[in-house]
Amino acid sequence: MTEGHGYTKFFPVSWEELHRHCKALAWRLLDAAESNGGHYKGVVAITRGGLVPAAIVARELEVRVIETISCSTYDGLNRTDRVDILKPATAAMADQGEGWLIVDDLVDTGVTAKAVRALLPKAHFATIYAKPNGRPLVDTFITEVSQDTWILFPWDQEAVMSKPIVELRGGGR
């Protein structure tokens, strides 16, 4: 996965870590909401990665209106510079996102964030993880990781039997 894609590190995230980071994001967003009269009109989840974080944040902030904006920047495993908006966040677009909260799992290169910002320029943009190239495009985030890191989200992992250390070294019985 990392060869040819510019990624030299892996950052695995467990369900528990993701939940803890989403709650930390909700705490920060609660403070930010004071400028909106203490609440957001709704949450816009960037699909697919933003769905789980958006659900947790919406629960913590007691926001009941959840929209999605479906974007695609990948062709298989290859990232492109083109963002296809597959489904817009119609309700939030009516007022350019004013009073709305956009949630995604991460901002990487910023390609998706720029496209969503263009549609919802007045919304508050929040992510769990931010990489240096995309970080200036979001208002709130929890954890910064290096640009060459591939984040392994829990929904992209599955449990498999690991080999004993001795087998990894070529030894064994």
Positions of E strands within the chain: 9-12, 42-47, 66-75, 78-87, 100-107, 124-130, 140-144, 149-152
Between CA 99 and CA 110, with CA 105 as vertex, the angle to 5 degrees is 80
Does 108 qualify as catalytic in the annotation?
A: yes
Backbone angles phi, psi at 82, to 5 degrees: -100, 135
Q: Is 104 annotated as a binding residue?
A: yes
56, amino acid identity: I
Q: Is 105 annotated as a binding residue?
A: yes
Does 75 qualify as catalytic in the annotation?
A: no
Which among 110, 168, 154, 164 has a CA at the least distance from the CA of 11? Answer: 154
Q: Is 112 annotated as a binding residue?
A: yes
Q: Is 110 annotated as a binding residue?
A: yes
Q: Is 140 annotated as a binding residue?
A: no
Q: Is 49 annotated as a binding residue?
A: yes
Catalytic residue among 31, 75, 84, 104: 104
Catalytic residue among 75, 81, 108, 148: 108
Catalytic residue among 105, 139, 148, 156: 105
Q: Is 108 annotated as a binding residue?
A: yes
Q: List residues forming the annotated binding site for 5-phospho-alpha-D-ribose 1-diphosphate.
A: 48-49, 104-112
Active site residues: 104-105, 108
Q: List residues forming the annotated binding site for guanine.
A: 108, 151
